[in-house]
Each structure stands twice: as C-alpha cells, then as structure tokens.
C-alpha cells in the first residue's frame, strides 16, 4: 500500500515537472507519435511498411520538440513510430481501430486532444497536400477525441 502511494507520488511529480518544463510526459508523447503515425500510414505504400520520408521526419521533429528529447528519447520515439507504422500495415482495420482507441484518453484534456489533432494535421500537410485518406484519418482521430475535424 505504501509502496503504491510512493509510486503514484513519483509519477505525479514527474508529470508535474514535465509540465513545468513545458514538455509532455512520456505517455502523452507516445500518443502524439501514434497520431502522427496514423496519418503518415494513411497514404503510405500498401505493398510496404514505408511512409513518405518527409512525413516521418516531421513526425519525429514534432516529437523532439514536444518532449524536449535528447538522443536517447528520440530513439524511443523513432522505434514507437516505426512499430506503429508496421502494426498499421500488418494489422488491417483492427490495428487502425486499436491505435485510434489508444488516443481516446487524450479527450480528457482538451489541450492534449487539440495537440494530437494538430500533430496529425501537421504531418499530413508536410508534403504540401492532404490526401483524402489522410483527411479521413484526421476525421477519425478528431471523432475519437471528441473534437470537430477543424479544431
């Protein structure tokens, strides 16, 4: 019981420190990476797990900025992004639904929900256009977060 209390206190302190420093806690950052991966995979090549280099680069640049990441943190975000892309390509619609469901807890925080939607939109638009598949994905993310697509 006491050990759980200490664990919760440490976790809350880390979250408070991250907010005070203006960075996202790791769990929230992981979900931003997931939102970016969803739109990057939306118009990816069906025959491979590859996504546009510009979209992957933008997704990881946003993760670095949002999390104030060092080299080690960037590696974790890169692995998360690549793993999510692979899951989306291999798992079909069920995988897409699972990743979108992972984002749903962000709806409890309007700021984080809008940030996730903004992250998805930024990655989608990095190549100068938003494809129909990317727009549909943004719409699905917005619905899961309880936001209008243009939030």
Mean pLDDT of the chain: 81
Token output for 11: 């976790």
Looking at residue 18, its pLDDT comes to 43
Total-model pTM: 0.78
Tallying the residues shown for the chain, one arrives at 151
- 24-53 pLDDT, tens digit per residue, is 788 888 999 999 999 999 976 554 567 888
29, containing H or E segment: helix 26-42
- 104-132 pLDDT, tens digit per residue, is 999 999 999 999 999 999 999 988 889 99
């Amino acid at each position: 019981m006491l050990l759980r209390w200490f664990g919760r206190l440490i976790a809350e302190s880390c979250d408070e420190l991250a907010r005070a420093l203006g960075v996202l806690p790791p769990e929230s950052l992981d979900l931003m990476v997931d939102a970016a991966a969803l739109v990057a995979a939306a118009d990816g090549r069906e025959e491979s797990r590859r996504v546009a280099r510009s979209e992957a680069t933008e997704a990881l640049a946003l993760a670095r900025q949002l999390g104030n990441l060092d080299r080690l943190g960037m590696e974790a975000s890169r692995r998360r992004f690549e793993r999510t892309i692979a899951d989306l390509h291999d798992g079909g619609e069920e995988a897409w639904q699972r990743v979108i469901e992972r984002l749903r807890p962000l709806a409890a925080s309007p700021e984080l929900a809008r940030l996730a939607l903004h992250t998805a939109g930024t990655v989608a638009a990095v190549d100068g256009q938003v494809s129909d598949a990317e727009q549909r994905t943004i719409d699905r993310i917005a619905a899961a977060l309880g936001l209008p697509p243009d939030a």
